[in-house]
Structure formats: structure tokens, C-alpha cells
Structure 1
Amino acid sequence: MIGKLKGSVDGVGDDHVIVDVHGVGYVAFCGARTLAGLPAAGEAVTLFIETVVREDMIRLYGFASEAERGWFRLLQTVQGVGSKVAMAVVGTLAPGDLANAIALQDKAMVARAPGVGPRVAARIVAELKDKAPAFATAGDVEAFALKRDLGEGVARGAVADAVSALVNLGYARDQAANAIAAAVKEAGEDAASTQLIRLGLKALSR
């Protein structure tokens, strides 16, 4: 199995890149974000690879980071999600954006990926809500938990009110949730919404 390719860009197609590794050209199928971030032809490139072996083919899928490859694998544990849909999702949403969409149960964000309809998006956010925290970085775990509570409608009243207040001020829901998560960490679990709003605005102004 191939886990990583390190070479130079030989050519780029609509859905793939050819990586030259010591004279051997490997075709790696990639998502739109990975393809857009590739260097120019002839320049060095490193891709994390997921090798898929089937009876009729061996296909390499390439990713710019291990996190993207991890999401690609995780997405395929969802019923009805194969490699094509999983690649479309990771090609549309960065790992952090995908984690936020699942935490907040934001089906519309996941459905932005080509070929992902409302039903599949709903299954993704529902089935991965308990698995996704393992893909959050250490600093994001608390924020992820808060966003998941918001998405499930079980967040503490003061927290939900504080997030809602920041959203009403024009901040994106994800921004607001991150700011209030930082505020809760600073002020404590029992802080009032007014204090959380003040600290959240302070965090957003930095």
C-alpha cells in the first residue's frame, strides 16, 4: 500500500495530479481544494495517499494533509457515502469547517459539496457527531463540544443566548461559538450570558 508520495508535479487534470517520483508517474485523484493548492509543474509536492484496491482497479487518492485523509476515511463509514462523495466533501470543506458543520449539525454546509444531497448531508452530520471530536485538535475539543451542544439544542441557556446575541450582531455562528467557548473557559461554566457576551466580543476583537 502507498501511504505518501513525495516527488514533483508532472501534470494536473480536472480531478487528478500526476506525481513524478524518481521517473515513475503516479496518478493521484484529488479534491478541488487540494488541486487548487498544488505548486506549478516541476515543483516539489508531497501528498498523503489513500490506496483503494478493488477487483477491477487500484486507485490512489491524494490529500494535502493527514487530517484530510482521516476525514476521507471517516466519511466512508457513513451509510451511502463512498469514495466519490467523501472526496467531494473534503474537496469542498477544510477539515476545520467540516468539523464545525458536524458539531453544529449544519446540513446545508455539508450539502454544498457537489453530489451531496440533503439526505446524505443529514446522515453525515448525524452519524459522525460522536466520532468527529477525535479529529479535533487539542485546542478545539472544548469548542467542538460546545458547538455540538448547540447543534443538538442542549446547550446551557446562558451559552445559547450569548451565541445568539453575537450572531445577531453579525458574526457567523461558528465565529460566535468559538468566541463563547473561549469565554466559558475563562469565566467558568456558571457564567451569566452578559459576561459571556462581553468576553466573547473581547475575544473577537483580538
Structure 2
Amino acid sequence: MLQHLQGIVDSIENQYVVLDVGGLGFALLCSRSVLARAQRGGNLRLYTSLSVAEGGILSLFGFSTPEERKLFDMLTSVKGIGGKMAMGLLGTLEMETILHAILSGSPVLLASAPGIGRKTAERICFELQEKIKKTPLLSQTIVVPELSGQSTVAAAVLQALESLGFSLAESREGLQEALKKTVPPDSEEQLLQAALQSLTRRR
């Protein structure tokens, strides 16, 4: 099995990195952390996962760490989650954010990623929460803060906004505006939507 690749970055397009390894070009669908450090012409080492879909179509995925790859494998073990959908999560959200969402049972964080609906996000949390707690490679990666009530909701929404590309300052401002409105404090989805509306109007 292909465990890792190391070579020169030939090109970067959307979520794909083409890695030149000894004259062979490998196109890998990569995680957010990989895309953040990949530079054209630079040397890059990636942990990999090879997927074979129906019809024999091959897909190669690239990760920064073994932990990312392990999380990817666990995501694809959930019914209805294929490689591209799992990488869509890892391409949009930081690994720590995904782990926080699952361990704290906050599907709204996962549902902020393109292609992930609320029901799918809830299924991911339900199926993987206990498995991740029992997987040292992942459970030791993040400490879930012991928060309660509105602070839990606000913290989750703040993380979701940052994962969507807003700066910490923008996220805090959008969250503060949303909290001023009549949004139920236990509704992450409505609070996130209100914050996004506030931030969109400013841009």
C-alpha cells in the first residue's frame, strides 16, 4: 500500500496538488493543512491514502500527518461518506475543529463544510464520538473544553466562522452582532446563520 510520497510541487489547483516524484506526476486531493504549506517548486512530503471507486476509478489523497489520515479513514467508515466528501471536510475545516465538533457533539461545525448536510453531520458525530475517544492517536490531539450553556454554542460558532475563512476579529464581531439578536442561545445553526449574515453585509 502507498504510505507516503515526497517530491517537488509541480502545481496547485483548487484542492489538488500535483507532486513530481522522480519524473512521475501524482495528483492528490489534499487537506487544508497541506494546501496551507504547499508552494510550487517546493519540496513536500505527504502521507497518502489510495481509494478505488466503482468502475476502477482511482483517487489519491494527501495529508500532513498520520493523524489526519487516521481521521480521514474514520470519516470514510461512516455510511454515506466517501473519500471526496471526507476530504471536503478536511479541506474546509482544520483537523482540530472536526475533532472538537465530533467529541463535543456539535454537528453545526461539520455542516458548515460544503456538501455536508445537518443529518450527515449528526451521523458523523453519533458514529465516531466514542470511536475517537478510544483512539489515542486522535483523542490526544485535542482537548475539548468543558463549557456549558450559551458559552458552548458561542465557542462552536466562533470556531465555525474561523474555519470558513473569517479572521478571529471578524468572527468575534459577527458573533457579537448575532448574540444581540433574538436567537435562541441553544441553537448553533441559527446563531451561525445570523453571524454569517452580519459578516456578509459588511463585506
TM-score for both structures, normalised by structure 2: 0.67
- 1:20-73 per-position Cα deviation (integer Å, ceiling 9, x unaligned): 1121111111234432331x2111101111011344222211112211111111
Closer/same/farther in 2, CA of residues 61 and 173 from structure 1, 3 Å limit = closer
Task: Quote the Cα distance in structure 2 between the aligned partners of 1:72 and 1:61.
Answer: 9
Q: Structure 1: which 4+ aligned runs deviate by more than 4 Å? A: none
Matches for 1:145-184 after TM superposition, within 5 Å = 163-164=147-148, 167=151, 172=155
Task: Quote the Cα distance in structure 1 between the aligned partners of 2:81 and 2:141.
Answer: 29
Q: Which residue of 2 aligns with 1:48?
A: 47
Closer/same/farther in 2, CA of residues 105 and 13 from structure 1, 3 Å limit = same
Pair 1:5 & 2:5 matched: yes
How much does 1:171 deviate?
A: 7.5
Q: Which residue of 1 aligns with 2:117?
A: 117
**1:136 paired residue among 125, 138, 145:** 138
Ranges in structure 1 where 5+ consecutive residues have no aligned partner = 148-158, 176-206
Q: Which residue of 1 aligns with 2:31?
A: 31
- 1:126-175 per-position Cα deviation (integer Å, ceiling 9, x unaligned): 111111121435475xx45xx6xxxxxxxxxxx7xxx348939x973699
Ranges in structure 2 where 5+ consecutive residues have no aligned partner = 159-203
The code of the aligned residue for 1:28 comes to L
TM-score for both structures, normalised by structure 1: 0.66
Task: Quote the Cα distance in structure 2 between the aligned partners of 1:32 and 1:137.
Answer: 20
| Percent identity of equivalent pairs | 30
The code of the aligned residue for 1:110 comes to L
How much does 1:121 deviate?
A: 0.3
From the CA coordinates, give the structure whose radius of gyration is larger.
1
How many aligned residue pairs are there? 155
Q: Which residue of 2 aligns with 1:203?
A: none
